[in-house]
Structure 1
Amino acid sequence: MRLSRRKILQLSASAASLPVIGSFSGLARAEGAIKTAAIYTVPVEQQWVSRIHKAALTAKERGDIEYTFSEKVANTDYERVMREYCEAGHQLIVGEAFAVEDAARAVAKDYPDRAFLIGSSFKPDAAVPNFAVFDNYIQDASYLTGMIAGAMTQKNNIGMVGGYPIPEVNRLMNAFMAGVKETKPDVKFQVAFIGSWFDPPKAKETAFAQVDAGADILYAERFGVSDAAKERKILAIGNVIDTQADYPETVVASALWHFEPTLDAAIKAIKDKAFKADDYGQYSFMKHGGCSLAPLGTFDGKVPADVMTKVTAREAEIKSGAFTVAVDDSEPKSS
């Protein structure tokens, strides 16, 4: 359920009469569903946030958490909303701190009896023991989609449209490019960033320019890119979510992020009175079930069989630890 600011303030007022919990471990002893609030700067339909939202709904259905959220929260309002949820008695705060890192950690310091599970490009800090970080380390699945893309390009020219050149975007693009080179070493890449997390028209226009420059496959890190591919009748590679059903003749493969292992680990830590400033990034790795290659759907049987054999073998090696996909956070460049 969405919680309006008015409702938050009403809950804040009622929470003022509750006994103050003196330490985080004291809160962790609470039984029953964990009162959880999520704060998103974009709509819940956006790829990255939609996966967090999905995992939270699953945990709610199991009875592990009570769940409320605010979406499209401006960066300038983020700290205020965090504090209002804390004052309203929420025990677990989930969100993203990519543009409000200092403010988010300051809030956590002021509420040591709350648990914070926050998307961040930075590492946990022992000085803020209740502030754990996570990120979408889905480079494993991205590598596999790259192997497929390399097999499907005819022009050896792939366009890539991202939001911002930050680590959580860069590592997926770099892994994808490495996968492409395993099956097609001589592919050229066009890399562009639109400077927004949610601007489908701009992403679409950027993708059109790449198609005009020779790309016959598009890496859709942002919404809008697959629309461009569909209109120009070329292929696209999905990211974070599975849009194959929406683009059955366009999206040949997607790397899926599963936030459930990350959230479930945090829930368990809270219930075990063991939540601390951990890095939850590992739970996005394929070996933990945090990412996967989406079913090919309508493209099942259209990708060369020998390549899919290689993809299946590589997937097994990733899961067993025999093969490690590099985590490369450097900004990818056109080639």
Structure 2
Amino acid sequence: MSRSPAISSLPALSRRAVLKTAGAGVALAAAGFPSRLLAADPIKVAAIYTVPVEQQWVSRIHKAANAAKERGDIEYVYSENTSNNDYERVMREYCEAGHKLIVGEVFGVEEAARTVAKDYPEVAFLMGSSFKPDAAVANFSVFDNYIQDASYLSGIIAGAMTKSKNIGMVGGYPIPEVNRLMNAFMAGVKESAPDTKFQVAFIGSWFDPPKAKETAFAQIDGGADLLYAERFGVSDAAKERKVLAVGNVIDTQKDYPETVVASALWHFEPTLDNAIGAVKAGSFKADDYGVFSFMKAGGCSLAPLGTFEGKVPAEVMAKVAEKEKAIKDGSFMVEINDAEPKSS
């Protein structure tokens, strides 16, 4: 795997502290990408991350990019720990180096990132964003991890496994991409245990395991016997205090075999592969790739239960299977609720 030097180790700004973006409410469809972008195999792809590649969210993008590289579809380089102050400069450097697709996360640098895209109309940009695409920036597409389907299913399991009917939830920031997963999880919990209470907290960081762990300890002291681990560090607290945890985005069951009972997984491959195909076909345009994270698109799933196989009541797993089938065939839709979840 190839990487460019980390530009800065400064912590990333809150994704909620975004700059004003132009045309945030413009419709998804946009003018087609220039046909002269038709690329030969493999195409040069660069990714820019504000956190280490080990971080949950970024690790899924990194995994998908490496899979595409191994297939021979792309050449792949990346920068990690890039501060928001350096983000625009790194974007421009990759563009100047001839990369045809830039992938990243611009939650804190929306305006600057879209300005770069305007300056390099023959480069495709696929960026994690809380905003929508802008028809005026035809080469800038957005995505987010819409894995509310899998989060909902993990909640059904969690509701059946909590005995105290008190669940702790630790998130990074109360922004849409986090809120929608927490809300879906809570809705799933109430399918199994409608009288469950929730302790909700945000640590103000995307990567601070010690702070997440201490916050989780406080929730356990407050009566929680199961934790929703949106951040690294929460499952460590659960393991130490011998309570259960539900994972998010990645599967950590092997690392916490007696702790993590279920996880909602994000699969970035459908998102990235569709973008790569569009670049190769010369058809890349401003669009919202968020739909490729839905379960029916193969963008998310419920992780195998591993050591908890057989420990979750059979009737609960039957309900999970029923709901999963309905989600995939479109007869049931998990609500996308981006409002900040509250303790209850």
Q: What TM-score comes out, normalization by structure 1 length? A: 0.94
- Secondary structure at the aligned position of 1:160 is classed as strand
- Secondary structure at the aligned position of 2:315 is classed as helix
Report the alpha carbon displacement of residue 233 of structure 1 after superposing the two structures with TM: 0.1
Provide the rounded CA distance (Å) in 2 between the counterparts of 1:24 and 1:86.
16
Mark the CA change 1:231 to 1:27 in structure 2 (over 3 Å): closer, same or farther: farther
Provide the rounded CA distance (Å) in 2 between the counterparts of 1:320 and 1:192.
34
Mark the CA change 1:66 to 1:143 in structure 2 (over 3 Å): closer, same or farther: same
Q: Residues 34 and 64 of structure 1 are in contact (CA less than 8 Å); yes or no, is this contact kept in structure 2?
A: yes
Establish whether residue 254 from structure 1 lines up as the match of residue 263 from structure 2.
yes
Establish whether residue 162 from structure 1 lines up as the match of residue 163 from structure 2.
no
- The equivalent residue for 1:138 is 147
Report the alpha carbon displacement of residue 232 of structure 1 after superposing the two structures with TM: 0.3
- Secondary structure at the aligned position of 1:214 is classed as coil
Q: Residues 120 and 135 of structure 1 are in contact (CA less than 8 Å); yes or no, is this contact kept in structure 2?
A: yes
Provide the rounded CA distance (Å) in 1 between the counterparts of 2:309 and 2:331.
26
- The equivalent residue for 2:63 is 54
| Structure-to-structure mapping, 1:1-335, within 5 angstroms | 1-4=2-5, 25-335=34-344
Deviations 1:230-280 (A, max 9, x none): 000000000000000000000000000000000011011111211000000
Provide the rounded CA distance (Å) in 2 between the counterparts of 1:38 and 1:266.
13
Report the alpha carbon displacement of residue 4 of structure 1 after superposing the two structures with TM: 2.8
* Structure of greater relative contact order (alpha carbons < 8 Å, 6+ residues apart): 2
Provide the rounded CA distance (Å) in 2 between the counterparts of 1:146 and 1:59.
32
Provide the rounded CA distance (Å) in 2 between the counterparts of 1:208 and 1:3.
37
Paired AA for residue 179 in structure 1: G
Provide the rounded CA distance (Å) in 1 between the counterparts of 2:224 and 2:77.
42
Provide the rounded CA distance (Å) in 2 between the counterparts of 1:85 and 1:27.
19
Deviations 1:252-310 (A, max 9, x none): 00000000000011011111211000000000000000000000000000001100000
Provide the rounded CA distance (Å) in 1 between the counterparts of 2:186 and 2:132.
26
Q: What TM-score comes out, normalization by structure 2 length? A: 0.91
Provide the rounded CA distance (Å) in 2 between the counterparts of 1:228 and 1:250.
10
In the alignment, structure 2 segments of 5+ residues that lack a partner are 8-31
Provide the rounded CA distance (Å) in 1 between the counterparts of 2:6 and 2:81.
13
Report the alpha carbon displacement of residue 121 of structure 1 after superposing the two structures with TM: 0.3
In the alignment, structure 1 segments of 5+ residues that lack a partner are 7-22
Provide the rounded CA distance (Å) in 1 between the counterparts of 2:6 and 2:320.
48
- Higher normalized helix content (fraction of residues): 1
Paired AA for residue 246 in structure 1: D
Report the alpha carbon displacement of residue 322 of structure 1 after superposing the two structures with TM: 0.8
Provide the rounded CA distance (Å) in 1 between the counterparts of 2:147 and 2:279.
25
Provide the rounded CA distance (Å) in 2 between the counterparts of 1:32 and 1:185.
53
Report the alpha carbon displacement of residue 29 of structure 1 after superposing the two structures with TM: 1.7
Q: Residues 26 and 113 of structure 1 are in contact (CA less than 8 Å); yes or no, is this contact kept in structure 2?
A: no
Aligned residues: 319
- The equivalent residue for 1:11 is none
Report the alpha carbon displacement of residue 200 of structure 1 after superposing the two structures with TM: 0.1
Deviations 1:72-105 (A, max 9, x none): 0011000100000001110000000111111111
Q: Residues 6 and 81 of structure 2 are in contact (CA less than 8 Å); yes or no, is this contact kept in structure 1?
A: no
Provide the rounded CA distance (Å) in 2 between the counterparts of 1:5 and 1:233.
37
Q: Residues 125 and 139 of structure 2 are in contact (CA less than 8 Å); yes or no, is this contact kept in structure 1?
A: yes
Report the alpha carbon displacement of residue 33 of structure 1 after superposing the two structures with TM: 0.7
Report the alpha carbon displacement of residue 24 of structure 1 after superposing the two structures with TM: 5.3
Paired AA for residue 313 in structure 2: P
Aligned Cα root-mean-square deviation (Å): 1.1
Paired AA for residue 5 in structure 2: S
Deviations 1:111-160 (A, max 9, x none): 00100000000000000000000000000000000000000000000000
Q: Residues 51 and 82 of structure 2 are in contact (CA less than 8 Å); yes or no, is this contact kept in structure 1?
A: yes
